[in-house]
Structure 1
Amino acid sequence: MTKNVISAMDVHMDKTIDALRKEFQKIRTGRASTALLDDVKIDYYGNPSPLSQVATLAVPEARTITIQPWEAKMIPIIEKAIMNANLGLTPANDGKVIRLNLPPLTEERRKDIVKQLKKMGEESKVALRNIRRDAIDDLKKLEKDKKISEDDLKRAEKEVQDHTDKHVAKVDEVVAHKEKEVMEV
């Protein structure tokens, strides 16, 4: 019984860390990544569609993203969507391909991004602690319903805390890795 609660908690905690990693991919660092454009939606014949479904995205150089629309008439629509997305990038096109050049980050901007990363890391840790609290509540309910003994409850609570500590350490690791990437010149 306690194993079910702990494994469900582990799954939730892993999803929290995966969500943090996905959010970090969207944060602009010194190098180009097509993940920056994941949230850009294009009005494609009246349907809001992800940019990756109307064009080919590529990173030919460290600071450049190219967008090759499947239809040339989509270029102005894609450029407008990128401008409206507030990415701080200005699209340039040659009639066939849109290029996004990522300017190098200033030291001040890097420090702001690191603050943002740490804040996101803290929010993830809060989420992990909430998941831990819910798991412990579930365990206490099992004990109250006489499905596990008090000793089993204490052992399971310790195991829950151990798993939580491991996941908090993973969050710290993910934040440190992204911070290193951002501060790299």
Structure 2
Amino acid sequence: MKPVFIKETEEKMKKSIEAISDELRKLRTGRPSPALLEEIKVDYYGVPTPINQVATVSVSEERALIIKPWERNLLGAIEKAIQASDLGLNPMNDGNVIRLIFPTPTTEQREKWVKKAKEIVEHGKIAVRNIRRDILKELKEMKKNGEISEDDEKRYEKEVQNLTDKYIEELNKLFEKKEKEIMEF
């Protein structure tokens, strides 16, 4: 049976991976994705609200997002919010829906996005290693206080290292997948 602190360590590492995965999902690629709009908020009766909570966002054709607000009077607010964002896209409002056309990105833009993805994954690796460092410090303290034996300390250190290796590998796979997604034409 695994000790509680090993389970907690694994949970923390899983949460780090989930956070990085979520951040990568929001990173722009050559293809449009509704996830790109998740951070953009619209003034909905005085409350900043994510676009996906006031409109249906769908992908159409090859390079367009269609935003259909549930209330027509939100078209202008959604349009302004997108223009104010750092997406660098020009929304087209036809009175019913807003279209966001994604031009085919240049190789330079793609390389920049890959670099950003690499940075995000690197932050994830640092987080996982920090979790490992903290638990190893805790294990040394437990051994010093006589709570665990030296053999137990070594065994737990090995388990923690195996967890660390597992989640670092998972981060590498997330990066490879995102890189492939960004670079495909």
TM range (shorter): over 0.9
Does the alignment pair 1:138 with 2:138?
A: yes
AA at the equivalent of 1:89: L
CA–CA distance in structure 1, aligned partners of residues 132 and 59 of structure 2: 40
Q: Which residue of 2 aligns with 1:75?
A: 75
TM-score w.r.t. the length of structure 2 is 0.96
Q: Which residue of 2 aligns with 1:166?
A: 166
Q: Which residue of 1 aligns with 2:11?
A: 11
Shift, 1:2, TM fit: 6.3
Shift, 1:44, TM fit: 0.6
RMSD: 1.2
Deviations 1:50-76 (A, max 9, x none): 111111111123311111111111111
Aligned length in residues? 185
> Alpha carbons of 1:142 and 1:2: their partners in 2 closer, same or farther (altered >3 Å)?
farther
Does the alignment pair 1:56 with 2:56?
A: yes
Contact 1:12 1:131 in 2 (8 A): yes
SS in 1 for 2:89: coil
Map of 1:26-175 to 2, 5 A cutoff?
Answer: 26-175=26-175
Shift, 1:170, TM fit: 0.6
Deviations 1:62-99 (A, max 9, x none): 31111111111111110000111111111001101001
AA at the equivalent of 1:13: M
AA at the equivalent of 2:77: I
Q: Which residue of 1 aligns with 2:182?
A: 182
Q: For structure 1, which segment, 30-39 or 54-63, has the greater mean C-alpha deviation from structure 2 after superposition?
A: 54-63
TM-score w.r.t. the length of structure 1 is 0.96
CA–CA distance in structure 2, aligned partners of residues 134 and 64 of structure 1: 45
CA–CA distance in structure 2, aligned partners of residues 157 and 33 of structure 1: 41
4+ runs of 1 displaced by more than 2 Å?
none
SS in 1 for 2:126: helix
Contact 1:55 1:67 in 2 (8 A): yes
CA–CA distance in structure 1, aligned partners of residues 184 and 4 of structure 2: 43
